[in-house]
Chain A
Amino acid sequence: MDIAVGTLLDRIIIVAYFAIVMGFGAYFGRYSKTTSDYFFGGRRFAWWLITISIVATGVGSHSFLKYSTKAYQYGLSSTMTYMNDWFFVPLFMFGWLPIIYYMRIKSIPEYFERRFNSSARYLATFMTLIFMIGYIAIQFLTLATVLYRIFGIPLMATVIIIAIATTIYMHFGGQTSVIFTDLFQGLILIFAGLLLFYLGIQFLGDQTSLPGFRAFWMNLTPEEKLPLAHFNRPPDFNFVGIFWQDGIAGSVGFLFLNQGLIMRFMAARSVNDGRKAVAFNTLIVLPISAVVVSNAGWIGRAIANVAPATFPVDMAANDVFVAVTNVVSSPGVFGFIIAALCAALMSTSDTLVNASSAIIVNDIYKPLSKKKHDDAKQLEFARWTSLGVKVIAVIMVPFFNSFDSIYEANGWFHSTFTPPLAVGVFMGIFWKRFTTPAIIATFIGGAFLMILGQANPEMITPFAHGIELRPDRGYSYIGALYNIVVCAGVGIIVTLFTKPESDKKLKGLTIFDAAKLKEIYKGSKPNESSGNPVTVEWKLSKTNDNTICFSKNDMQTMSANAGDLVYIQDARWWYGGLKSAHATFGEPHDEDGTVYISSLQLDHGQFIEGLQLKAEKEM
């Protein structure tokens, strides 16, 4: 099939888009002063900012191609994987999120060391890094596959150009740049996806005598309107296999193991803001995202049903995204939608690069480095590490290009690396008895049994729920259930025969200590009484510590005492916490409506003279 290559206007729009994002990201680099800022954005952002940046991270460039392909083949059931995450949300919101936030856990491997030992950490580091860098390579490959057709530049050269473009803003900005460029890119990709849906519906309305949306709905068959796939048919797209692969293993992997996502929540100004971001994202944004990534396929299917001659007879399902965009949009709009595809790629890969860099610094450099380096040195190392991660990802691209499809490469990754880590972290958090020898056995023994299962698919058959075993190709998704069972089985058996860890070692690292986490974080009993925020003028104090001082009346309004924790930010809400700082309440004074801050907080919060600040007690 001939693929649309766009016009000069489309190319200009794509190049302009890259330039805007690079400039936008580099601007926010000035807010990264420490490794905490670089990796975690200084734990200061509002929930809505975190939410939009999660969207941009979750929707990768491969999502558009992958989901529109399935939507074209099977209809609305392509949304299944976007709508099955709620089951684990209670455990994430009230189990894992407070643990990582209050225990100041910087990476997944760090959790493994604190919960188990350094061997568990190194095994987890190895598996996590391979997974993430490979995933970055897949993102590069997906977009390069589309862009090289438009610009005519060879595939690998396109990959290198994309890697350089993301490097420019990430190298200087770190997590703050990632969050702000993702805010911009998340909005762009949602808008572009919905625009494509609108244009497609208009197009369908023009093809029939029915109004647009009715024309779309009436030209899907009843089967294509069902939101869930057939229980166990066909082998390459069935409900039960995808439920275990995505709804169970994938959901645990995304919520509990995705270092990029965890760093997003660590950038939230509080645990409660993190919870709001999860709730809003899962209930509001995910259904919208499902429409954004799938609609090209649905529109393509409805067009093929009503006007089969619109597309070439031999069109592959993989080409539906580009084909539909080409049919329903005009020059310029095509470029804009492809730019949104760039948005999806850049926002996912920047998160993964920053996350990989955090793991290398926190889990390899710091534990192995004999010399104690200062924060500036570590920050410099982190910046160069993110560059190194991209170089390795670029080198890995030809390997993934050798798979039959990006979908297959992606599936191979998930089925190979997620189950042992998912079982390990899940049992670590929610089963106090789970022991260190058990986690090592889960990683090594579980991986061995998984490989055995891949080599002998008959071992998976008892778990297959009647899914057909394809000769020479094995099972596609249901293998995840087998992998979870063998990893969990090994972990449970070894745990029952080994000695449990002491309560002292596990303090704050399992859900059973959830009620004590705030006290551990604060270092004293948390103040849970409810108060109201205050808006105040600020003055510079002579001290240079982490305390800030309010008047007695203002502290009463906030229901705060000296020694409690306070969050202070620029009073303009739309900054979303960019200009903010965490501090401790000092002894009160008598000047109502005034707060005294130190030069340390001024430097961190970048507050502007003459502009008011809003403060609230944290705990």
Chain B
Amino acid sequence: MDFERTWLPFLYLYGVGGIVFTLGMILILKTKALRLNFKRHKKWLWLLLYGFIFWSSLHATFIILALRSQ
């Protein structure tokens, strides 16, 4: 399987999607929509970062499993 079938979609998804996510995080922090001096908001910040890592890890795991089953 070539790169266009395996890792390129992953890199594009988390590259372009990652830009959207990062800009969104910067915007909500800069506008104080997410306020780190609130205990509850601090938990949300970690959850938002966790979500990004969760989805990218899930996709990466399935790609690796598929490649190993060749």
Contacts and interface: CB of A to CB of B under 8 A. Distances in A.
Contacts of A86: 17, 21, 51-52, 55
Contacts of A428: none
Interface string A116-141: 00000000000000000000000000
Given A87-B21, A90-B21, A228 B31 contact: no
Interface of A: 76, 83-84, 86-91, 93-95, 98, 217, 222-223, 225-233, 239-240, 243, 247-248, 272, 275, 279, 282-283, 287, 430, 511-512, 514-515, 528, 530
Contact of A94 (B6, B18, B34, B70): B34
Contacts of A228: 9-10, 13, 59, 63
A83 B10 CA distance: 12
Given A91-B28, A222-B69, A272 B40 contact: yes
A228 B5 CA distance: 8
A514 B31 contact: yes
Interface string B55-70: 1001100110111011
Given A83-B58, A86-B52, A90-B21, A231 B9 contact: yes
A247 B31 contact: no
A83 to B, nearest CB: 6
A77 to B, nearest CB: 9
B66 to A, nearest CB: 4
B27 A83 contact: no
Contacts of A275: 44
B27 A283 contact: no
Contact of B27 (A95, A222, A229): A95
A247 B15 CA distance: 13
A279 B50 CA distance: 11
B9 A229 contact: yes
B12 A240 contact: yes
Given A93-B44, A222-B69, A282 B16 contact: no
Contacts, number: 117
Contacts of B55: 83, 86
Contact of A90 (B1, B28, B40, B59): B28
B32 A87 contact: no
Given A88-B24, A223-B5, A229-B9, A247 B34 contact: no
Given A84-B17, A89-B48, A275-B44, A226 B32 contact: no
Contacts of B44: 93-94, 275
A91 B67 contact: no
B58 to A, nearest CB: 7
Contact of A240 (B9, B25, B67): B9
19 contacts: A84-B17, A86-B21, A87-B20, A87-B21, A88-B24, A89-B51, A90-B25, A95-B28, A222-B70, A225-B62, A226-B62, A229-B9, A232-B4, A239-B9, A272-B40, A511-B28, A514-B31, A514-B33, A515-B33
Nearest to B60: A227
Given A231-B4, A514-B32, A225 B65 contact: yes
A481 to B, nearest CB: 11
Contacts of B1: 222-223, 226
Nearest to B47: A279
A91 B23 CA distance: 9
B27 A511 contact: yes
A83 B58 CA distance: 10
Contacts of A515: 31-33, 35
Contacts of A225: 62, 65-66, 69
Given A91-B24, A228-B10, A279 B32 contact: no
A243 B12 contact: yes
A91 B27 contact: yes
Contacts of A272: 40
